[in-house]
Structure 1
Amino acid sequence: MREIVIVGGGYAGFYAAWGLEKRLGTAEARITVVDPRPYMTYQPFLPEVTAGSVEARHAAVSLRRHLRRARLIAGTVTAIRHADRTITVRPANGADYELRYDTIVVTAGAVTRTFPIPGLAQHAIGLKHVEEAVAIRDRLMTAFDQAAFLPPGAERRRLLTVTFVGGGFSGVEGFGELLSLATAMLKSYPELSSDELSFHLVEARGRILPEVGDKPGAWVVRSLERRGAHVHLNTQIHSLADGHVVLSNGEEFDSALVVWTAGNASNPVVHNHSDLPIDERGLLVVRPDLRVGTDSELVADAWAAGDDAAVPDLASTVPGAHTVPNAQHAVRQGRLLAKNIVADLRGGRIKNYRHSSLGVVATLGLGRGIFQYKRIVIKGLPAWLMHRGYHVLAVPSWERKIRVLTVWLTAAVFGRDLVSLASVQHPRDAFVTSGDPQRPVESPTSGRRAA
């Protein structure tokens, strides 16, 4: 039986495995998916998770529920040696081990790009996973609770200051949704006023949302600023030490919440621990049919797609262009991967990936959005409805679609659910103190015997 190993259970990996299960017989191949998380994150919903418009679990698609035949390994691939047809797997528990394969599909995805900025690792949080989106929401709501009983001053200003770094889709959507949540929360906090909210969006380039045109991008900036936000273009972060934000334009302020969405970097496993060919950006060299290699040098039995693959964009008029790393491409590439791998095993025809963009749509907060398809631009409520309609259709499985729709309809009737569950990040605190507020909380390693 042929062993097919899929590295990564994100968009491309999930859809490739799902498609292979439907097309391959049980005696043709065994499918193995290796990913540290037991679910596929539907990332376009993460901004709405931060705002409480989508439940966290509804933005996560269970791998075990939908991949009934695949072998699922909860672990991280730390090395790929295609010459030997082996990968090294680091499981959640236990020692590393090697796993052999006949065909490999690399869909590990990109990682968040960071820089050696003082305080970044200690104070910033990303927006790439469900856990991060939930933490951002809970931190904002906890900050409101704490600020409401403080007198006006430096500490209250710090708690009500939010900073997003990165003006791409993830950053702008998360910023707009969190600003919408904070504005709505003011109704429940009569002690606070809108003038005390301080939301900052920092972008190193001269514009935000590079996927849309200059005029729509400028409109988004004006829209955010009309809502009280501060948009800093052509600006970089110099320091985040002790939560004190220092910008390249000379501005400084304290910020209790810093969200880092400054783009993606190539996956370290692909870039540093693989013998598969990569380009100057650290992405896998991929042919238009999603096989690893070039037209002149094909790497047999190796396929790749998604954010860590440099897939040629046949629909672009720009010579040498590659598909942009977004969900729209990753989903379709995953589906084509399954079809092409089956065709390769059965001696069928392998097809090239070609997909023209359906346009771009972004949410900017409850009832606000922007959509662009070529020269057609739609703003405001219609674009926001288009955003919700598109993504509820795109999220996998009818079960997830119905759950998301139910939450949206409930919120339309009863409003947002303004409850913070930040304590779930430290679930043992209440148990350890046992009702005595003077009793110190033990560290995870306290009470253990010395070796």
Structure 2
Amino acid sequence: MPKILIVGGGYAGFYTAWKLENWLRRGEAEVTVVDPLPYMTYQPFLPEVASGSIEPRHAVVSLRRHLKSTKIIAGKVTKITHGEKSATITPNIGEAYELEYDMIVVTAGSVSRTFPIPGVADEAIGLKTIEEAVAIRDRILTNFDKASQLPEGAERDRLLTFVVVGGGFAGIEIFAEMRSFASDLLSKYPELAFEDTHFHLIEAMGRIMPEVSLKTAGWVIKNLAERGAEIHLDTQLKSAVGGVIELSTGESFESDTIVWTAGVMASPMLKNTDLPIEERGRLRVRPDLRVHDENNEIVIDAWGAGDVSAVPDLTGGGVGGFCVPNAQHAVRQGKLLAKNLVAELRGEEVHEYFHKNAGAVAGLGIGVGAFQSGKIGITGILAWFMHRGYHGLAMPSYERKFRVIWGWVLNFFLGRDIVSLEARVTPRAAFEEFASRPRPAAPAAAAPAEAPAGHPGPADAPVVVGGAVSKE
């Protein structure tokens, strides 16, 4: 059987494998997915996970549960030698080994793109993984607990000052959800007032959310300002050393929570391959998702999709002529890639990726949203329902859809879950504190030293009898 190796189990990789299971005939090909994580993360839900609106496990999709006939390898592909059709697999446990394949699908996704700004690497947190979203939620809750025990002053202000860097869709959504979450929490903390909380979003450009119109973006800025959240446009972060935020405008303040959402870049693993890469570090891909070289010649049996690939946008609406790195494209590219792989195996015609953006929708906290499609912009509660409706349906598998939607229904009646599990990072601390340990062994008795001449030795030592000292 031909062996298909899929590098990465994110959107594009998961959907490619999922659809291949439906469309391949029995024995037609053997499919393997390599990813260090056992799940695919539905990233549009990360802001709601961070704000307590979605249970973290409901925002991920188990690879082994939903990929029933695909071989799953828990590890990383650390090198690809396509000339020999061989990949180096570094498993989560054990030694690295070589895996041969017949066709390779590179869907390794992207990572947070940062700049060498002092303090960012040490103080900030990204928003690419479910673990990061949970950490943000727990940090907010823990900081509220700490601040409620402190008097007014610099330390309380630092705990209740939240900063987001980046005004794209991800940045605005997490910023708005955090503001909404904090506002709800205030009713549970009578020691704190609304004026004690401070929210700052830093955006280097002169506008936010380039996917929507200026009118819609302006409404979002105004709405957030009315909710007590400040957006700094045309402003750069100069330093975050020790949590001290220094802006290009000269402003400075302290924060204990800094969320970085200022862009993504293709997975660095591409540097360890012999596949062609373009100037931004992405895989060179034709519209039919086959890899091509600098001369636009097809690289046989190599395919790519998702954030890691520079997929041409045939609609003409992409940035620089390529599809923007988002879930909407990655999911659809994964589905087409599965169809094209099946067509390639059967000697049939492959198809080009063409998807005209139907619109963009953002959730901005409970009851607030923004939607843009062409010149049509919708804001407020209707757009919020559209956001939840779209993503509730887009979540893969009915099992996941039911869990997410049912959680929303419960939250409507019961409110958000506001329990912090920050102690999860040290789960053995409570056990270790009270655990009994063996007593240290008694030191071995030293051998008696030889007595010098003229001095009594052990045989002449005094004997204690009934508390009296006597000489035998």
Fold agreement, TM-score > 0.5 = yes
SS in 2 for 1:335: helix
What is residue 147 of structure 1 aligned with on the other side? 147
Q: Does 1:330 align with 2:353?
A: no
Task: Provide, for residues 194-225 of structure 1, a one-character-per-residue CA deviation record: whole Å limited to 9, x for no partner.
Answer: 10100110111111111112221122111111
Residues in 1 aligned to 2:176 and 2:425: alpha-carbon distance in whole angstroms = 25
1:138-217 equivalent positions in 2, closer than 5 A: 138-217=138-217
Q: CA deviation at 1:296?
A: 4.0
Residues in 2 aligned to 1:282 and 1:349: alpha-carbon distance in whole angstroms = 29
Q: In 2 relative to 1, CA 247–319 (structure 1 residues): closer, same or farther, beyond 3 Å?
A: closer
Q: Which moved more, 1:311-320 or 1:65-74?
A: 311-320
Letter in 1 for 2:366: L
Q: CA deviation at 1:279?
A: 1.1
Letter in 1 for 2:118: P
Q: CA deviation at 1:319?
A: 10
Residues in 1 aligned to 2:194 and 2:296: alpha-carbon distance in whole angstroms = 61
Residues in 1 aligned to 2:268 and 2:33: alpha-carbon distance in whole angstroms = 19
What is residue 10 of structure 1 aligned with on the other side? 10
What is residue 462 of structure 2 aligned with on the other side? none
Q: CA deviation at 1:303?
A: 0.4
Residues in 2 aligned to 1:228 and 1:166: alpha-carbon distance in whole angstroms = 18
Q: In 2 relative to 1, CA 317–358 (structure 1 residues): closer, same or farther, beyond 3 Å?
A: closer
Q: Does 1:282 align with 2:284?
A: no
RMSD across aligned positions (CA) = 1.5
Letter in 1 for 2:267: N
For this pair of structures, how many residues does the alignment match?
436
SS in 2 for 1:218: helix
What is residue 358 of structure 1 aligned with on the other side? 358
What is residue 405 of structure 1 aligned with on the other side? 405
Letter in 1 for 2:24: L
What is residue 444 of structure 1 aligned with on the other side? none
Residues in 2 aligned to 1:318 and 1:48: alpha-carbon distance in whole angstroms = 27
What is residue 290 of structure 2 aligned with on the other side? 291
Letter in 2 for 1:51: S
What is residue 67 of structure 2 aligned with on the other side? 67
Q: Which moved more, 1:133-142 or 1:81-90?
A: 81-90
What is residue 380 of structure 2 aligned with on the other side? 380
Residues in 1 aligned to 2:51 and 2:332: alpha-carbon distance in whole angstroms = 28
Q: In 2 relative to 1, CA 277–196 (structure 1 residues): closer, same or farther, beyond 3 Å?
A: same
Q: In 2 relative to 1, CA 5–174 (structure 1 residues): closer, same or farther, beyond 3 Å?
A: same
Task: Provide, for residues 322-364 of structure 1, a one-character-per-residue CA deviation record: whole Å limited to 9, x for no partner.
Answer: 1111111110000000000000000111111101111000011
Task: Provide, for residues 394-420 of structure 1, a one-character-per-residue CA deviation record: whole Å limited to 9, x for no partner.
Answer: 000111111111111111011111111
Q: Which moved more, 1:421-430 or 1:286-295?
A: 286-295
Q: Which moved more, 1:204-213 or 1:292-301?
A: 292-301
Q: TM-score, normalised by structure 2?
A: 0.90
Q: CA deviation at 1:55?
A: 0.5
Q: Percent identity?
A: 58
Letter in 1 for 2:63: L
Letter in 1 for 2:338: A
Residues in 2 aligned to 1:133 and 1:324: alpha-carbon distance in whole angstroms = 23
What is residue 449 of structure 1 aligned with on the other side? none
Letter in 1 for 2:282: L
Q: CA deviation at 1:318?
A: 7.3
Residues in 2 aligned to 1:435 and 1:85: alpha-carbon distance in whole angstroms = 53
SS in 2 for 1:328: helix
Q: In 2 relative to 1, CA 119–319 (structure 1 residues): closer, same or farther, beyond 3 Å?
A: closer
Q: Does 1:90 align with 2:90?
A: yes
Letter in 1 for 2:275: L
SS in 2 for 1:173: helix
Q: Which moved more, 1:249-258 or 1:316-325?
A: 316-325
Residues in 1 aligned to 2:279 and 2:216: alpha-carbon distance in whole angstroms = 32
Contact 2:213 2:377 survives alignment (8 Å): no
Q: In 2 relative to 1, CA 215–91 (structure 1 residues): closer, same or farther, beyond 3 Å?
A: same
Residues in 1 aligned to 2:41 and 2:2: alpha-carbon distance in whole angstroms = 28
What is residue 263 of structure 1 aligned with on the other side? 263
Contact 2:64 2:72 survives alignment (8 Å): yes
Letter in 2 for 1:256: D
Residues in 1 aligned to 2:288 and 2:115: alpha-carbon distance in whole angstroms = 34
Q: In 2 relative to 1, CA 249–344 (structure 1 residues): closer, same or farther, beyond 3 Å?
A: same
Which one has the largest radius of gyration? 2
Residues in 2 aligned to 1:356 and 1:91: alpha-carbon distance in whole angstroms = 39
Q: In 2 relative to 1, CA 182–318 (structure 1 residues): closer, same or farther, beyond 3 Å?
A: closer
Superposition misfits of 4+ residues, deviation over 4 angstroms:
317-320
Residues in 1 aligned to 2:28 and 2:415: alpha-carbon distance in whole angstroms = 51
Q: CA deviation at 1:317?
A: 5.9
Residues in 1 aligned to 2:166 and 2:2: alpha-carbon distance in whole angstroms = 43
What is residue 446 of structure 1 aligned with on the other side? none
What is residue 369 of structure 1 aligned with on the other side? 369
Q: CA deviation at 1:320?
A: 6.1
SS in 2 for 1:412: helix
Contact 2:310 2:323 survives alignment (8 Å): yes
Q: Does 1:133 align with 2:144?
A: no
Letter in 2 for 1:291: R
Residues in 1 aligned to 2:428 and 2:274: alpha-carbon distance in whole angstroms = 44
SS in 1 for 2:217: helix
What is residue 346 of structure 2 aligned with on the other side? 346
Q: CA deviation at 1:432?
A: 1.5
Letter in 1 for 2:167: G
Q: In 2 relative to 1, CA 414–373 (structure 1 residues): closer, same or farther, beyond 3 Å?
A: same
Contact 2:166 2:261 survives alignment (8 Å): yes
Q: CA deviation at 1:256?
A: 0.7
What is residue 311 of structure 1 aligned with on the other side? 311
Contact 2:120 2:240 survives alignment (8 Å): yes
Q: In 2 relative to 1, CA 435–206 (structure 1 residues): closer, same or farther, beyond 3 Å?
A: farther
